[in-house]
Structure 1
Amino acid sequence: MNRSTTRKHPTLLTLLAAVVSATVAPMAAPGTAGAATGGQVCLFLDKEGAPILGRTYGHVAWAIRDPKNTNHWIWGATEGGKLHIPAGQNNGSWIKGGTWDDLHKSIKPDGHHRAGYYDAYRCINTAGGDLGAAQRTFRNMKDNGYDIGFNNCLTKSIAIFRKYSPALSSKHLPDGQTLPPRNYFATTLDNASGWGKASTYR
């Protein structure tokens, strides 16, 4: 979701009126997420992302692990930059690949609550995963625009996760449209099946 939007968006503000703050429980160091076998997806939260009229709604990045090489990850995000970006224009999407340590250096932890940095992550294991399908989904969405309520950093992350592992049904990965990313990260995933607790990101 957009990290720096400040213009008024009445429809979205009505939908987001009930936003709650994410609560994060300290857990093991981030490197342990790379220690398990099989597939895995992780969602990273920047609580200070998407400031709108004095409130912040959060921003997320995504990461998926190669089930055939568990030391290899692919990760990315869509930064937005405006409330709405038409299809075909730059929506701030990016993608990278490497080890968990590379990911950690790329998705910088927020040590002092600075906007644009990440505060926490949480993961869910999968029996397997299709990196190619996830990458194709990213490429398609890179050109399909951006909308702060319906086609944003969260909805794009969910779409990538579902293509990576179709087993991530709505029971495990609920729809994210109109939901603030920080609310989805904290409350929605708490009530979804299979997700680990949030880990502080350091």
Structure 2
Amino acid sequence: MNRPTTRKHRTVLSLLAVVLSATAAPLVAPGTAEAATGGRACLFLDKEGAPIAGRTYGHVAWAIRDPKNTSHWIWGATEGGKLHIDAGQDNGSWIKGGTWDDLRRSIKKDGHHKPGYYDAYRCINTAGGDLKAAQRTFENMKNNGYDIGFNNCLTKSIAIFRKYSPALSSKHLPDGQTTPPRNYFATTLDNASGWEKARTY
């Protein structure tokens, strides 16, 4: 093998190594809110929420990412305020849209909430997501009342997640009825498939 051929092979191998290393290495560190493409759903926890009879049961907010425009998110929560609210009455539901930074600023200081209202969040990636289906679900549920055990901030978040991505079956997103949001966030999701570890907010 002559010298020019050897040089040519070395050049090709070097270029190939550069291409392979570029495609193998992620552009964004995995596990961050902006990692990868496609859908993403996040649950935010206020561990001191829902104080009842000297105990706190926790409160959650939801957020989902537009798989076609990963810089855009929609998010919201149902605040309740009573143990039971009849259908048709205000159950404290709200929704917003914007970037991840907008989300973090909003969800910390929204309305009457003090800074640091939410303590932690955890996320799961999905192959895709239907924002319109999720928004329709939110619109339907904002008028269907509230119940501390069966129709609350957590069960509504789960319903929105499942409409956003039907792939979030009970294996990934167990039923949340009668489970305090604080327990669901910390324990139930630990045993569910695909959820990242909680991050301090």
TM-score by length of 1: 0.80
Q: Percent identity?
A: 89
Paired position in structure 2 for 1:152: 152
- Cα shift readout 1:52-95 (whole Å, capped 9, x = no counterpart): 01110000000000000000000000000100000000000000
Structure 2 residue 51 is matched with structure 1 residue 39: no
Amino acid at match of 1:65: R
* Structure possessing the higher relative contact order (Cα contacts under 8 Å, 6 or more residues apart): 1
TM-superposed CA distance for 1:107, in Å, is 1.0
* Greater C-alpha radius of gyration: 2
Paired position in structure 1 for 2:163: 163
Paired position in structure 2 for 1:18: none
User: How many residues align structurally?
Assistant: 168
Paired position in structure 1 for 2:26: none
Q: Which moved more, 1:115-124 or 1:183-192?
A: 115-124
TM-superposed CA distance for 1:115, in Å, is 9.4
Amino acid at match of 1:121: Y
Higher share of residues assigned helix = 2
Paired position in structure 2 for 1:73: 73
TM-score by length of 2: 0.81
TM-superposed CA distance for 1:150, in Å, is 0.1
RMSD: 1.7
Structure 2 residue 200 is matched with structure 1 residue 197: no
Aligned pairs for 1:25-104 (under 5 A) are 32-104=32-104
Distance 1:123 1:79 in 2: 21
Contact preservation (8 Å) 1:122, 1:197 = yes
Contact preservation (8 Å) 1:49, 1:115 = no
Q: Secondary structure at the match of 2:189?
A: helix
Give every structure 1 segment of 4 or more consecutive aligned residues whose post-TM-superposition deviation is greater than 3 Å. none
Paired position in structure 1 for 2:117: 117
Distance 2:131 2:33 in 1: 18
Paired position in structure 2 for 1:108: 108
